[in-house]
Amino acid sequence: MKSLENKVAIITGGASGIGKACAELFVKEGAKVCITDLNEELGNKTAAELGENAMFLKADSSLPEDNQMIVQKTVEKFGALHIAVNNAGIGGEANKVADLSLEGWKKVIDINLNGVFYGMHYQIPEIKKNGGSIVNMASILGSVGFANSSAYVAAKHGVVGLTKTAAWEYGTDNVRINAVGPGFIKTPLVDSALDTDTLKFLESQHAFQRLGEPIEVAELVLWLASDKSSFATGTYYPIDGGYLAK
């Protein structure tokens, strides 16, 4: 039996990168998946590639009403909700704290932190009905700092704390909630934001001397989403190629 047979999942930011790798793996393992993203073209393309067990919704994870809509339409389409992967995120403006624009700070916090809260706020009542798992996408920067990325670092630290708190609140409701902390992964977000020299430097900061692949993160997310991780909750799981081991 496939590890996600008869399960229904939401994956935010699922049109590319880690989110897309998760969606592909989830469908392969038997799940029905709702992919959300702001990129309508890529989202529709990904859903079409995955076939009848996938649907796409254009949605902004920083808006409470969009998160509510995602849950409602997923349940209407597939009949239940068992799994949520709150993956949508942006890198945001690169600046020191005193130089970071107020708008730049707010945008990153709204998407990377508030979006995870809004997601869980609407996901948990549905997941409680059948039991299930929520995986929140943090980062290695959920546990360490990184110059010129104060909003991103603050948001990802917040995701880890939010995850731990929610896990305690819903442990007796058969809802498991964990966070994943990828190192630097080869995704469109990283490729578009960094030049060649920066990429080479980042590769050197990992024990493997390379960036990770989206599927390597997706495999961990799959385990946390499945019943194989039945005693795992409230934990932050780095998958970082040794970045944090320095």
| Bridge partners (DSSP) listed for residue 11 | 35, 85
Q: What is the pLDDT of residue 94?
A: 93
CA distances from 245 to 141, 183, 231 (A): 13, 11, 25
User: What are the domain boundaries of the chain?
Assistant: 8-184+213-238
Q: What is the pLDDT of residue 145?
A: 97
Fold exhibited by the domain 8-184+213-238: Rossmann fold (3.40.50)
Q: What is the pLDDT of residue 190?
A: 75
Q: What is the pLDDT of residue 195?
A: 83
Residue 150: how many CA atoms within 13 Å on its side-chain side? Answer: 11
Q: What is the spatial order of strands in the sheet that 175-182 belongs to?
A: 54-58, 32-37, 8-12, 83-86, 132-137, 175-182, 236-239
With a CB cutoff of 8 Å and minimum separation 6, the contacts of 69 are: 57, 59
Q: What is the pLDDT of residue 187?
A: 84
Residue at 161: amino acid letter: G
CA dihedral 194, 196, 202, 203 (to 10 degrees): 140
Which pairing describes strands 8-12 and 32-37: parallel, antiparallel, or unpaired?
A: parallel
**Whether 49 contacts 27, CB under 8 Å:** no
With a CB cutoff of 8 Å and minimum separation 6, the contacts of 226 are: 3, 4, 29, 133
Query: So which residues are the catalytic ones?
Result: 152
Alpha-carbon torsion (214, 3, 120, 57), positive or negative = positive
List, for residues 145-189, the tens digit of each pLDDT value.
999 999 999 999 999 999 999 999 999 999 999 999 999 999 876
Residue at 125: amino acid letter: P
Residue 94, both tokens: 């690169």
Residues of the chain whose pLDDT is less than 70?
Answer: 189
Helix or strand holding residue 26 (H, E): helix 17-28
Given phi > 0 = left and psi -120 to 50 = alpha, else beta, which region is 29?
alpha
